Amino acid sequence: VYSAKRAVNRRGQGAGLREEIVEAAARLLGASASREAVTLRAIAREAGIAAPSIYPHFADRDAVLDAVVSRTFAELAQACSSAATGATSGVEEVRAICRAYAAFASNRPGQYQILFQRSPDNLSRTPQPYPEGIRAFELLSGALERMVAEGTSTSTDPTRDAQALWAALHGLATVVPATPGFPWRDATDLLDRLVEALTRTQA
């Protein structure tokens, strides 16, 4: 039972299916928000192909998920970068990035969550961080450095402060959907509180 009818690619265009597979997996993550649900067979069904057709394009199931993670990190970095352009000050830039980050995580919870989930298999296989993720982080630390340059922060370690801010953003994005029924304050208020507190300089 396929979800879509699909024409076989022209000769030489076989690589096109690779992107369709990644998109199908990303779509499943959006729907289910659970890594386990994104099985190789489910990806194939979603893409409208037979399961073995994935193998010419990816070594195994984890390789597909790896590709989704890289792509999603790139999209996250892009979203933060877009939000940052045009900021007239470091403070504004930091705020814009944090809001874009929180919005991304909130709008695409399944895809966001998989960024930080390692399967037992790829734990040993991927000890290196994703370069796209590094890039996203560097936007944030760069903005904090800009604050120092502009004199709105006297931080002696902007990298550390960016890491703390990132951890806090991640926590907010993660803990709220994971605690259904908990009487959370408005998410925007919480975000503002985090950003406000963590962009001030340590005493």
Partner DNA sequence: TGTACATCAGTGAACGCGCGTTCACTGATGTAC
* Backbone conformation region of residue 148, classed left if phi is above 0, alpha if psi is from -120 to 50, else beta: alpha
Is 153 within 8 Å of 199 (Cβ atoms)? yes
φ/ψ of 130, rounded to 5, equals: -80, 125
- What are the Cα distances from residue 169, in Å, to 54, 124, 163, 175, 185? 35, 27, 10, 10, 15
Q: Is 10 in the site for DNA (CB under 7 A)?
A: yes
Cα–Cα dist 24/116, whole Å? 20
Contact between 126 and its own copies per CB under 8 A:
yes
Counting residues that bind DNA (by CB under 7 A) gives 24
Measured from the CB atom, is 52 or 127 closer to DNA? 52
Which of 4, 41, 167, 188 binds its own copies (CB under 8 A)? It is: 167
Contacts of 138 (CB under 8 A, 6+ apart): none
Q: Which residue has the tokens 């979800």?
A: 3
Q: Is 55 in the site for DNA (CB under 7 A)?
A: yes
Q: Which of 3, 34, 107, 154 binds its own copies (CB under 8 A)?
A: 34
- Binding to DNA, residues 108-147 (CB under 7 A): none
- Binding-site ranges for DNA (CB under 7 A): 6, 8-17, 39-42, 49-53, 55-56, 60-61
- Binding-site ranges for its own copies (CB under 8 A): 32, 34, 36-37, 116-120, 123, 126-129, 133-134, 137, 157, 159-161, 163-164, 166-176, 178-182, 184-185, 189-190, 193-194, 196-198, 200, 202-203
